[in-house]
Amino acid sequence: MRFEKIEYLPALVLLILPVLLFFLLLRWKKKTTARIGDAALVAQLVKSFSPFRFRVKFILLALAFIAIIIGAANLQKPGGMEKINRRGVDVMFVLDVSKSMLAEDVKPSRLERAKQLLDRLSDKLDNDRLGLVLFAGRAYLQMPLTTDHGATKMYVRNSSPDVVPTQGTVIGEALRMANTSFNSKERKYKAIVLISDGEDHDPDALKIAKDLADSGVMINAVGIGSPDGSTIIDPVTHEEKKDEQGQTVISKLNEAELEQLADVTSGRYLRLDNMDDAVITMTQQLDSIEKKSLTDSEFVDFNSYFQWFLALAVLLLLAEFFLPERKSNSSAVRPGLKSGMNAARAYLLPVVLLAAGLLIAAPFSTLAQTENALIRSGNRYYKQKQIDASQQQYQQALHEAPDNPTANYNLGNTQFRKNNFDEAAKSYDASIEKTDDKSLKEKGYYNKGVSLSKQQKLEESIDAYKNALKLNSTDKEARDNLQKALLDLKKKQQQQQDQKNQQDQKNKQDQKDKKDKKDQPKKQDQKDKKDQQQQPPPTSKLNKQQVEQLLQALQQKEKEVQEKMNQNKVKSLTQPEKDW
């Protein structure tokens, strides 16, 4: 429970003064009675007056005042999360981000084309949970299964070879990583969409695919590239990629392996030639999978109870109005003109209080009904995916009540869907600040974290996820996103450090080159003199000792070359065979 207009509650302090005056009045009456004289005589004179009813009437007025203030503050109870039943499957996107995906035989590049496909598929699979695995020489879980398709699309758009430091193509490891995100107790409702050029033949991939088929996972493979192949432009040097022998690398689409992976799991393989056809074919293929009932939640609004307190205030004031101070069986005193005036004055206070309460409550009631109606209207548009219309309704509700946390939260959702992540984060902040509801705060922090992650504000997003977990430690998605943000921050810091080290190394090399260039004439002179000394006289024959010295020098040189070759051989065992 919470008060929507908590600023009205301090008005309860105003009740202290009437209560104090009431007790002073009782004390004055007691002293006045004592000064008059005989207590029995005084009791006879005022026997028609009921001290009990006098006290009851004051209590009724005080309670009515309290009810009016509480009604104005509008006590609310969360309407909860509206349950939206849907049917869908769990789909893991497995995207190849190796450097071979930078080949431009598919415009603008294989990787960009793959991103476009996943972006459009995300819009079509609105009833499914989506996750993302990126792989090259290693596989990484970028995003666990979630209904937040906006977050999935963000991670897809930010995918690049820089995300995976080790290059290569380990399809088998990527498939195994994707399978860990599924519910191991289920043997259906699971699918993988694999997008790769299949550049390297992974001997483990087919075996792992068979294991996945036994677990009820369907692999649908999308081949991207051309069988004839294309050169790769290195993103660092902006030149064509060369292999160890100095030959230009030609990256070709390996359709055979991708087809095998799809066939063994009863999936489908297609080459990405036409984007529209690929989206339709893949959507139909995923629709053929048996779907399970899923339950999603969407925040709606709060239920208001101000009307009950206002009704109670009216009843209390009516009870006070019709409860006389005089005893009903007394006929000793006949009220005349003066007593009638006193009665009018006595009843004037509750009438004034009633009018004041109605004046306070009337505009508030109208305002509350208006803003709640706008929020409900916005929610209906939001469910129908009419984001612009729903955003207008939430903005109008905030125009009526700028501090409404529900309107701020729902407005943030619409801004998020329109990729206005900075504005969405501000709306979530406003909702968090204006509400005392723990559930709404937790969801506000979580959505704020996702919005900040989309802007690569990793440190701020980490703080938001931590605040969400403080309010709800069982939120698995908040925990997963926190771990992902921490990993991304670590990678970012490592990249910055690597860049700094490279720059320092480059500066040292430049200084060394300048020094070597400066000393080169002197060293060349020394070398020439040494060569002249070592060269035998052209006209004389070599003696036996000189021949032995030359042979020893040649043997030593051959030994050094052999050691260097052995070192290169050891090094190659610890590095990937290919770096594309």
> What's the pLDDT band for 94 if we cut at 50, 70, 90?
very high
Q: Which residues contact 172 (CB under 8 A, 6 or more apart)?
A: 202, 203, 204, 205, 207, 208
Strands (DSSP E) contained in 385-440 are: none
Is residue 92 domain-resident? yes
Please report, rounded to a whole number, the percentage of residues in the chain having pLDDT higher than 90: 14
Instruction: Bin 431: left if φ > 0, else alpha if -120 < ψ < 50, else beta.
Output: alpha
Residue 334 banded pLDDT, cuts 50, 70, 90: very low
3-class secondary-structure state, position 494: helix
Q: Give the model's pLDDT for residue 322.
A: 82
Task: Give percent above pLDDT 70 in the chain.
Answer: 74
Same domain, 117 and 47: no
Give the residue, 561 or 435, on which the prediction is more confident. Answer: 435
Q: Which domain holds residue 499?
A: 402-521
Residues 6+ apart with CB under 8 A from 18: 61, 62
Asked if 24 and 166 sit in the same domain, the reply is no
Res. 538: pLDDT tops 60: no
Same domain, 119 and 252: yes
Structural domain contains residue 346 = yes
Q: How confident is the model at residue 38 (pLDDT cuts 50, 70, 90)?
A: low
Q: For the segment 216-273, what is each residue's pLDDT rounded down to a tens digit?
A: 899 999 999 888 888 887 766 777 877 777 778 788 888 888 999 999 998 999 998 8
Digit-coded pLDDT (tens) for 385-416: 788 888 888 888 888 888 888 889 999 989 98
432 vs 479, higher pLDDT: 432
- The tokens 């202290």 sit on which residue? 16
End-to-end, the C-alpha distance of the chain in Å comes to 58
Please check whether residue 387 lies inside any domain of the structure.
Answer: no
Q: What is the DSSP string of 199-218?
A: -S--TTHHHHHHHHHHTTEE
Among 62-76, 124-138, 201-215, 288-302, the range scoring the smallest mean pLDDT is 288-302
Q: Please determine, for residue 558, whether its predicted confidence score (pLDDT) is greater than 70.
A: no
The strand order across the sheet containing 75-78 reads 2-3, 75-78, 302-304
pLDDT at 294: 54
CATH code, domain with 264: 3.40.50.410
Same domain? 38 vs 138: no
* The predicted structure's pLDDT at residue 269: 93
Mean of pLDDT values over 374-378: 83
**Per the structure, how many domains does the chain have?**
3
Return the pLDDT at 571: 38
Q: Are residues 252 and 284 in the same domain?
A: yes
Angle between helices 255-264 and 205-214 (to 10 degrees): 20
**Are 253 and 346 members of one domain?**
no
Kindly state whether residue 406 falls inside one of the protein's structural domains: yes
Most confident of 150-164, 234-248, 339-353, 372-386: 150-164
pLDDT at position 359 over 60:
no
Q: 494 and 349, same structural domain?
A: no
Would you give the DSSP letter of residue 78? E
Q: Predicted confidence band at 112 (pLDDT cuts at 50, 70, 90)? A: very high
As a whole number of angstroms, the distance between CA 39 and CA 33 comes to 7
The last residue of one of the domains, among 351, 367, 383, is 367
CATH of the domain at 492: 1.25.40.10
User: Which pLDDT does position 226 carry in this prediction?
Assistant: 86
